[in-house]
A and B are shown apart, each in its own frame.
Chain A
Amino acid sequence: MDFVIDKLEVVDKTKNLVRMQLVPDPRVWRRTKVGDVSGYLHRLDENFIPDSVVAKMAKNLKGLPITTNPVNYPGKREYLKRSKRRLSASATKASQ
């Protein structure tokens, strides 16, 4: 489940301590009710996650560090190197 930061407050600047409220990303998840059960519906694949499951998940997150994966493609450098080799090989072939 993807979350976005809804509210953010600095608790202790010296310790870089902040308190934040995370909500399921509204661009992906829509609040809805299925029967009597409230929860979040994925806008594309229609997976439904009831509030009780989200609450349980939040409880399990207690004490865990929050990390964010930087957007990258780890093999980029190697891939570009390989493509350069491929390109010069095909250019040589074409000019023969």
Chain B
Amino acid sequence: MRPRRANSQTLLSIFNGKTIQVGVIYVDLVESTDAVSRMKPSAVRAYYTTFTNEMIQVIIDFGGYFLKPLGDAVVGFFPAFRGFVNQADNVVNCGLIMIELCKNSISPLFVRKRLPKISCRVGADFGTVEVVKLGVQSTGYFVDMVGNTMNIAAKIMKKAGANELLIGDQLSKVIHTTYRLSCSRIGSLPLPSPYAYYKVGFVL
């Protein structure tokens, strides 16, 4: 039996109030609002739980942690406590497998269950985040990560098309060269200094 890993809340509470280096990944269902509006409630439940649970599982399998669901998106992070090169590659592999799973595993299953096919878009970046405890005493607390890296990864994800993985400049700098050579620059985010993002253009 595999040892049970600490969940992200346990891990992050150790770093509450500190700055840590992480790879951040956002995966989002494409055009789900439209699809869900035509579904029965039981189908809606199956649609979201299958996608969300599978994405969480992939994040964990690739050495990351599930942070939180965000509407129809899932946010994960890959702490770089013991060096970042392999973790950076893990983020990219994780994103590519997410796309493969949506195309070749979840969609065929959904078709069999008479649910609409799905596609996802993935955005990721690497950098420092601030660990903060949010909430009030009466409702309890949630340890979250905030900062530029989180915002950038979310913005990059929104630029991705269906079944596309886009990564930020910082992540593109820490992945292995062979990975980097397969990335093509798509554009830049209009931040105070323009921030480049890249499409990962290879198939695992």
Contacts and interface: CB of A to CB of B under 8 A. Distances in A.
Contacts of A70: 178
Interface stretch (B99-107, B116-124, B151-159): B99-107
Interface string A44-64: 110000000000000000000
Given A25-B177, A80-B105, A71 B204 contact: yes
Contacts, number: 67
A87 B55 CA distance: 11
A88 B110 CA distance: 10
Interface in B85-115: 93, 96-97, 100-101, 104-106, 109, 113
B97 A91 contact: no
Contact of B109 (A3, A27, A73, A87): A87
Contacts of B204: 71-73, 76
Contact of A87 (B54, B84, B173, B180): B54
A71 B202 CA distance: 8
A23 to B, nearest CB: 12
Interface string A19-56: 00000010110000000000000011100000000000
Interface of B: 46, 49-50, 53-54, 57-58, 61, 84, 93, 96-97, 100-101, 104-106, 109, 113, 126, 170, 172-174, 176-180, 182, 202, 204
Interface of A: 2-4, 25, 27-28, 43-45, 68-73, 76, 79-80, 83-84, 86-88, 90-91, 94
